[in-house]
Amino acid sequence: MILFYLLVGVMPLSNHRIWGAVVGDATVFKYVGALCVLYAALHLSARRNFPSFFATWQARLFAVFFLIATISYFAHYVPRPWEFSPLLSYASFLLLFFVTLTVVDSLRRLRWVLLVAIGSVAFASLYMIREWQTALAVYGPSYRPGWVVGDPNYFTISALLCLPLAFYLMLERRSLWERWFCLGCLIVTLAAVTLGASRGGFLGLVVAFLFVVWHSRRRLRNLALVSALVLPLSFASPASPVKRLLHPTHSDVEAEGNRLVAWNAGLGMIRAHPLAGIGLDNFKILMPLYADPKARVDTIAHNVYVEIAAEMGVPGLLVFLAILYFSYHTLQQTSRRLQGSGPQFLRQVALGLQAGLVGCAVALFFVSGQYQKLLWLMVFLSMCLPSLVPVRAGRATDQEKARRWTDSSGWRVLRKRILKEL
């Protein structure tokens, strides 16, 4: 299991000199993933019960999504280095699907996977902060770090998925070191997100924490706590998404224009090829054919929904949206089932994953983050949660509701009899 923890722990470090190093025909990260697949196969043979890989709708739809991506790639094949192939990324996600649903088979393992994911983003945040410090004298305080993590916008997607989880686990009544660990990771990650200054990511962060506040019992307390964590960093930092939103620089305005050009080109691709799309990973190559000739912009879509619809057709986009929806729906059902009974840790996890997916769905309007490993890990963890709910969980709640209904019905009958006698 330590191999899987290691795999999760290095997911945000896409350009790390060790884990991102190419050895032979693959990176060190991929070799670790291959060892995890081997361990999962051995663990599967030793398990007493076979996991239900396709028990949830998002699992079935993920298989369909992978099939659409494969057909799209070979139907519109463009020669490119295999190690940078997007199909290889989706194949690795398919293996991650197998490994996750095989090895995350207990609450203890789920807890450690989440703690490692939260810690991995915090560790990547230290790289972000250090990079900003070293570049401060050369590029000034508005410099946006993000080399080791690949890109500040992509890093923010990963942070969005883990920040609500860190917040919920920080408030959980468990061991003191876990609460302090989550608080420390929360502060460090928020600092890195602020320095990354992703405007779309900040909007997703706001939506995610509003979800957290709305679904909590002590809304005012949690709103004050969230505001105390987020707002001081956002307004005090010389490089923050709030300042980029309120006072955009020339490069910020230029980036907005480039995104609009890319989105319009993507809509043109969708109109021209609504069913089959233009082919997986062909957006940037074919963009000059659909963009305004005066724009001279050569970029990706910077919008997951536009890019998937343009490359894989509208059916591909609908399947991707359905994966996000059913992941959210499964987590919502798990949370409701555990309300009032069952392990409250699992309910906190369900709410944290929900908040992360909601915030991520907003941020994906402004970044092409469909290849982020932590995004798919959280989707796969949503498939694991129903099997981890105890069989008796929710029965007490159902019995309580039945008792209340019976009592209220009895009172209604008694009231009618009294009124009739009068």
17-45, pLDDT tens digit by residue? 888 888 877 888 888 999 999 999 998 88
363, part of any domain: yes
Range with the lowest mean pLDDT among 270-274, 381-385, 392-396? 392-396
**Number of structural domains found in the chain:** 1
Angle ∠(353,60,51) on CA atoms, nearest 5: 75
419, part of any domain: no
Q: Which domain holds residue 108?
A: 2-390
Q: Is pLDDT above 90 for 219?
A: no
Confidence of residue 175 (pLDDT cuts 50, 70, 90): confident
What's the confidence (pLDDT) of residue 351? 93
What's the confidence (pLDDT) of residue 54? 92
What's the confidence (pLDDT) of residue 140? 79
> What is the C-alpha to C-alpha distance for residues 96 and 399, in angstroms, rounded to an integer?
39
415, part of any domain: no
407, part of any domain: no
Which residues, at least 6 apart from 349, have a Cβ–Cβ distance to it below 8 Å? 110, 114, 165, 168, 169, 385
Contact 9, 116 (CB under 8 A): yes
Q: Is pLDDT above 80 for 7?
A: yes
51-56: long-range contacts (C-beta < 8 A, 24 or more apart)? 51/101, 51/102, 51/105, 51/387, 52/387, 53/97, 53/98, 53/101, 55/383, 55/386, 55/387, 56/326, 56/330, 56/382, 56/383, 56/386
Query: Could you count the other beta carbons within 10 Å of the beta carbon of residue 90?
Result: 21
421, part of any domain: no
Q: Is pLDDT above 50 for 295?
A: yes
Confidence of residue 333 (pLDDT cuts 50, 70, 90): very high
Beta strand 26-27 pairing with 22-23: antiparallel
> What is the C-alpha to C-alpha distance for residues 418 and 422, in angstroms, rounded to an integer?
6
Q: Is pLDDT above 50 for 174?
A: yes
Confidence of residue 48 (pLDDT cuts 50, 70, 90): confident
DSSP 129: H
Q: 23 vs 233, which has greater pLDDT?
A: 23
Contact 284, 319 (CB under 8 A): no
Task: State the residue for tokens 């010389």.
Answer: 238
H or E element that contains 22: strand 22-23
H or E element that contains 230: helix 219-236
328, part of any domain: yes
409, part of any domain: no
Contact 246, 268 (CB under 8 A): no
Share of the chain above pLDDT 70, in %: 90
Which residues, at least 6 apart from 192, have a Cβ–Cβ distance to it below 8 Å? 124, 125, 126, 128, 129, 145, 155, 159
Report in angstroms the alpha-carbon separations of 281 from 96, 295, 311. Answer: 21, 21, 7
- Per DSSP, what are the bridge partners of residue 76? none
Which residues, at least 6 apart from 246, have a Cβ–Cβ distance to it below 8 Å? none
325, part of any domain: yes
Contact 165, 353 (CB under 8 A): yes
Strand, helix or coil for residue 146? coil
Q: 74 vs 241, which has greater pLDDT?
A: 74
Report in angstroms the alpha-carbon separations of 141 from 2, 97, 196, 235, 334. Answer: 39, 40, 11, 14, 44
Which one of 277-281, 291-295, 408-412 scores highest in mean pLDDT? 277-281
Q: 222 vs 401, which has greater pLDDT?
A: 222
What's the confidence (pLDDT) of residue 102? 93
DSSP 56: S
Q: Is pLDDT above 70 for 115?
A: yes
Share of the chain above pLDDT 90, in %: 46
What's the confidence (pLDDT) of residue 418? 39
> What is the C-alpha to C-alpha distance for residues 281 and 368, in angstroms, rounded to an integer?
11
Considering the chain, what is the average pLDDT of its residues?
Answer: 85
Note the pLDDT tens digit of each residue in 386-421.
988 876 554 444 444 434 433 444 445 434 543 444
Confidence of residue 236 (pLDDT cuts 50, 70, 90): low
